[in-house]
Amino acid sequence: MPRPLRIGVQLPEVEYEYTWPHLEEMARLAEQVGLDSVWLGDHLMYTPPTGAPRGPYEAWTTMGAIAAVTERVLIGPLVASLGFHTPPMIAKKAATIDQISNGRFILGIGAGWNEAEYRGYGFPFDHRVSRFAEALTIIRELFATGQCTFHGRFYDIDNALLFPKPVQPGGPPLMLGSWGQRMLRIALPHVQMWNAWHHDYGNTREGLARLLDLIDRACEEADRDPGTLVRTASPLVRMEGGTGRASGSGEVVPPIDGRDPARLADELAALAQMGLGHVQLVLDPITPRSIAALEPMLRRLDA
């Protein structure tokens, strides 16, 4: 029997200090144990109210490196802020990683939320949704035709050309990481996938069911068959040694207990029955040992 849904893992962001060899080991291990995808957060810095400032590796550079050292897993940002680069530059980066990975790239997209990193790196934080709408139009046109001229309120693009072209016809799949009503109206007619972060639904089946109902209604309002949208979610999973992990907003949600492979397999099977086609596990802790510990769960789920 085929696996009931694809299963990926988010690699470390700022949970602890790491090096590229650590990330490479975890990406290779994810592939070896049978995971379907590897994901990276797209953030630049965090300035928490308590504790020292922190920052992860730059996501696009790291995804290109992961693409070069893996052969099978899908790769994507969870999710990329369209405000961190000009739209043609995002299309260029996505097409390049799609080439390096031979068509294994998924472009997760959002409008961002962390004002401090926008200010710190000199990006405008105003009108984020309107900027997102223009950026999405430009990226889609470049993926579809390889060129774009666009004169809008925020972006002035004069004959941008996309070389090399993506391996995937029409460009990498687009995955929206938002449930805001305006964002849904803008993106649902065009994206192939949608993602919910665990604090969006409280990390519970009941919360997820309510959010999926909202997405169904938004699809219908956008004159789209809800069944054509691949729904994904990023549940927080406690592994051996987990000590708790707060969301970027500071909210703490109860984790799914992943220490028992059978229990975790049953939980993921239940999410598949609810209509999810892909999950990106947010492991606590996220270490090689935690990734290796997923192998018995994957075998059970496949069986």
Which amino acid is it at 147?
Q
Which amino acid is it at 247?
S
Of 52 and 23, more confident: 23
46-95 pLDDT, tens per residue? 988 877 898 999 999 999 999 999 999 999 999 999 999 999 999 999 99
230-281 pLDDT, tens per residue? 999 999 999 999 988 765 555 678 999 999 999 999 999 999 999 999 999 9
Q: Please indicate, yes or no, whether the overall pTM of this predicted structure exceeds 0.85.
A: yes
Residue 223 has pLDDT above 90, yes or no: yes
Query: 145: Cβ–Cβ under 8 A, 6 or more apart, which residues?
Result: none
**Displacement of CA 80 from its chain's centroid (Å):** 7
| Percent of all residues in the chain with a pLDDT value above 90, rounded to a whole number | 92
Contact 14, 288 (CB under 8 A): no
Cα–Cα distance, 119 to 113 (Å, whole number): 12
Cα–Cα distance, 72 to 28 (Å, whole number): 10
Cα–Cα distance, 251 to 102 (Å, whole number): 38
